[in-house]
Structures are given as structure tokens and as C-alpha cells.
Amino acid sequence: MFYNAAMSQMFTRRTFLRNCAAAAALTPFISFGKESRYRFCAFEKPLQFLSYDDMAALMAECGFHGIEATVRKGGHVLPERVEDDLPEMVEALKKHGLEMTILTSDINNASQPQAHKVLATAKKLGITRYRMLWYQYDLAKPVRPQLEAIRPQVKDLVAMNRELGVTALYQNHSGAKMVGAPLWDIYDIIQDHDPKQISIAYDIMHATAEGGLDWPIQFNLIQSHLGAVYVKDFTWENHKTKATPLGTGQINHDFFALLKKSGFNGPISMHVEYLERVNDRKIQADAFKKDFGTLRKWLND
């Protein structure tokens, strides 16, 4: 077979280009490794049928940095058992190289019976962010006085957070009675507090459901107190929101271009709410992996 130096150089060049192409294809996944700008976690509510170890193994298999854990009534950890069970969950996570990025709670008032115990236990275990329980309006009464009544509750909660060294995250949630659904109301209450004590978990699904086209205004508004980002998707069904796999519903992935420009480098929590009642490990794992793949693609576009 005829062979010369020119042919050798041609094959070498082809090999080089092929290797470059392969490396480029892997870039989206490499860039979201353990040194990522963001901390990716997943809400583990659909996985409460699993043991702590099995849940942690699944989350590690999917590639997350950590989880958003349910520590509330009906949660994976019950508040009355937090001192016994939360360390066990954290140990299971550590075994699989994961963290508890956010603790989801029933807490929205410093005087609640379990509030201090739950947060003090969390802090001892290195958990510094917790999602609050929402406040709700009574629409038979004027809205403004109800907001003013919430202010002192938030002030007391912030004082406890400062004492313990933890940060409360208030999630905007759609609904006719939900304080924070339009975002301006809860932001008006927390804007004068240190974001290290209370911030907003910006939920793009609920912002879209409530704001339609004006979610960029809401996102712009709360920048000073943006503490976390929640990612999930939905469609409308009989005038109600219905959870769907990421990328198949109403949220606009242009949001993620804004997110990158914002400089935010905190936790991004992915929610797979459309499978909350499916107690099948493989189905759950496939859904989390697929949605996480969509999220990573959007962040790389």
C-alpha cells in the first residue's frame, strides 16, 4: 500500500479534529461538574418512598450536587424526630458525595414549637438554607393590612435566623391566596432585611403561571434578595396548572439566559412534580436525568 508523509499528516489531522469534536460534545457535562458556578440540587419529595440511602444513591446517579429535603409534616424527616433522623439522612448523603443544599420546612414564624429545634439541628449539620412555609391572604379582608401584620413575624424570624446563622428562602407560589404570588408583596416585606437572613427562591414555573409575559420584571425586581432558583414546567388544564417534564410546557427557556447574565451563583433546585405519586425507582431516575439534561442544555445555550 502506498504511504507517504503527506498521508500521515492527513490522518493525524483527522484524528485531531475528531478528538476535538468529541471533547466539544462533552463540554456541557464537564462544565457542570463539582466546580460548577451553580449548586444543583433536586427536590426529593417524589422519592420519599425510598430509604435515605437509596434516595441519595439515585440523586448521585443523576449527577446532582445535593438535595432539597422535606423536613416537615409528612416529610422524609418529621420535625419531632429531627434530632434523630436528620443526621441519618445527612450521613446517607455524605456517603454518596452529596450535600443537603436546602431544607424544606413548615416554618414561617419564630414562635412555632419545632422551629428553633429544626433550624438549630440543621445548622449543627452544616445546613444553612431552609425553605419557609408560605403566608396566605384572607381575600374577604383588605390585602394591605394583612401584609403589614406579616412584617413583625418576618422580623422575628429574621432575628432567629441571624442568631442561628441560617437563611430563610421564601418561594413564590401561584394561587389566589398566596402571599408572594405576584412577588412585589413579599419583596416589599423582606427588602430591608439582610439577604443572608431571608431571601427569595425564585420559581420560574409559578412566576410564569402568575405573570404570563411579565416574569422578567419580577425577576429583575428581586435581584437583591435572590437566594435560590426553582426549575420546573407546567401546562394549563381546566384553568389549573399541571406539572409536566421540563421543556414540554409553558416556561420560556430565555429565562436561563437572564439567569446567566444576572451573576447568580447560588443553588438551582429542580422539581419533578409530575411524578410525585409514582413509587418506581427507575421511572423516577429516568425523569430526573432527562429533566436535568434539559436544564443543563438551556444553561449552555
What is the tens place of the pLDDT at every residue in 58-96?
A: 999 999 999 999 999 999 999 999 999 999 999 999 999
- Structural contact between residues 140 and 149, judged by C-beta atoms closer than 8 angstroms: no
| Local structure of 171: helix, strand or coil | strand
Reduced to 3 states (helix: H, G, I; strand: E, B; else coil), residue 73 is coil
For residue range 214-234, what is the model confidence (pLDDT) as tens digits?
Answer: 999 999 999 999 999 999 999
Q: Residue 124: pLDDT above 60?
A: yes
The answer to whether residue 14 is domain-embedded is no
Let me know if residue 229 belongs to a domain. yes
* Residue 98 resides in a domain: yes
Answer positive or negative: Cα dihedral of 251, 247, 23, 266.
positive
- Whole-angstrom distance, CA of residue 167 vs CA of residue 102: 10
Per-residue confidence (pLDDT) for residue 29, from 0 to 100: 37
- Is residue 48 included in any domain, yes or no? yes
pLDDT at 106 over 70: yes
Domain assignment present for 2: no
Q: How many domains does the chain have?
A: 1
156: in domain: yes
* Domain assignment of residue 29, yes or no: no
Instruction: Supply angle C-alpha 228, 103, 171, rounded to 5.
Output: 40
Mean pLDDT of the chain: 90
In a domain, 228, yes or no: yes
Compute CA distances 252 → 113, 258, 300, whole Å.
41, 11, 15
What is the domain-level CATH number for residue 119? 3.20.20.150
Q: Provide the CB-side half-sphere exposure for 149 (13 A, CA).
A: 11
Please tell me the predicted confidence (pLDDT) of residue 177: 96
Q: Are 91 and 125 in contact (CB under 8 A)?
A: no
Q: pLDDT tens digits, residue range 18-68?
A: 444 433 333 333 344 444 689 999 999 999 999 999 999 999 999 999 999
- pTM of the model as a whole: 0.88
For residue 36, the model assigns a pLDDT of 65
Q: Which residues touch 147 (CB under 8 Å, ≥6 apart)?
A: 179, 185, 188, 189
Residues 45, 47, 48, 52: what is their CA dihedral angle, to the nearest 10 degrees?
-120
Mean pLDDT of 124-138: 98
Q: Residue 150 sits in which domain range? A: 37-300
